[in-house]
Amino acid sequence: MSSEEDKVLDVLEKASKSVVNISTVRLVHAMFYQVVPVRGVGSGTIIDSRGYILTNNHVIRGARKISVTLWNGEVFEGEVIGSCLLHDIALVKVDRDRLPAAELGDSDKLRVGQRVYAIGNPFGLAGGPTVTSGVISALNRTIEAEEGLLLENLVQTDAAINPGNSGGPLVDVNGKVVAINTAIVPFAQGIGFAIPINIAKKCSEEIIGGKGPSKPWIGIIGLSLTEGVARQYNLPPVEGVLVTRVIEGGPAYRAGIEAGDIILRLDGVRIRSIEDLLREIHKKKIGDKVRLDALKRGGEWSVDVILSEML
């Protein structure tokens, strides 16, 4: 074994001590109106020695009980401090200090091809967390996840990320956390996604500071309209965002936007992709009224939409 590999393994061993197992119990309605407990499992990343742990919101969503197991087998009851639904991030607190906190990196400096390691603790067993390796395949990915949630600016990696590793860290060769792994994407084979740590840090700071989600929401799932997509769906050869789904009860739904509409402009700014649309929306505030110009059944129309928080 080379000295360089030895160094990386030492770094990963240290980073693994900040990774915890999170097990949950949810109550769900079964047949004949019975309420039964359902267990779930995921991972978390200690970001503060005072007991603050980052994980995915979908790991702890709806949980009646949360148990946190440290790398050394110690078990504590966890409390959800808050969540950031827009980025699938949640913050859990345990009543314990002097925990081994992870060293956080700077996700703005990530590069495609950079080697990374996904660490998870899906079982909480002796022997510690699991580690998989890979490279960063792409940056700034926007994907549709569960329940119509649109996750943006994700890091894409070929490091294996299974559901039990959700909430664990994606670390670089120096052991710094550059993203938080998420396995919320269904049917992904050989592709993993992670939330950039700079976004996760901002979410945790807002939660600890008692602030709510600050980004406005329009309530659609959209697809950048390229020439290929237009040909495939027999649509006009225009640039814009094809609305593929409208979230019931959301701002777009209330304004009369429908699946199949093509968004062309927002407040007069040309929209050529889903990234353009998100960028313009996030310049606004919750409660702002925006004017959307779109194609509906071949004709151009305009409508005012009042942006809101995510439902």
Instruction: Look up residue 273 and give its two tokens.
Output: 């992709």
Taking residue 182's Cβ as centre, other Cβ atoms within 10 Å add up to 31
Amino acid at 147: E
**What's the burial of 246, exposed, middle or buried (CB within 10 Å: 0-12/13-18/19+)?**
buried
| Structure token digits, residue 116 | 């990374």
DSSP 259: T
Residue that has been written with the tokens 């992904």 in this structure: 188
Q: Which two tokens stand for residue 69?
A: 């197991």
Q: Is 208 helix (H, G, I), strand (E, B) or coil?
A: helix
Number of residues in the chain = 311
The answer to whether 282 and 215 have CB atoms below 8 angstroms apart is: yes
The catalytic residue among 43, 67, 166, 204 is 166
Instruction: Work out the angle at residue 66's Cα, subtended by the Cα atoms of residues 197 and 161, and round it to the nearest 5 degrees.
Output: 45
Catalytic residue, candidates 88, 261, 276, 293: 88
Does the CA dihedral 252-257-261-267 come out positive or negative?
negative
Distance, in Å, from the CA atom of 216 to the CA atom of 162, rounded to the nearest integer, reads: 30
Q: Are 23 and 51 in contact (CB under 8 A)?
A: no
Residues 16, 18, 58, 87: which is the catalytic one? 58
**166 is an active site residue:** yes
The whole-angstrom separation of Cα 54 and Cα 97 is 15
Buried b (16+ CB within 10 A) or exposed e, 130-148: bbbebebbebebbbbbeeb
The catalytic residues are: 58, 88, 166
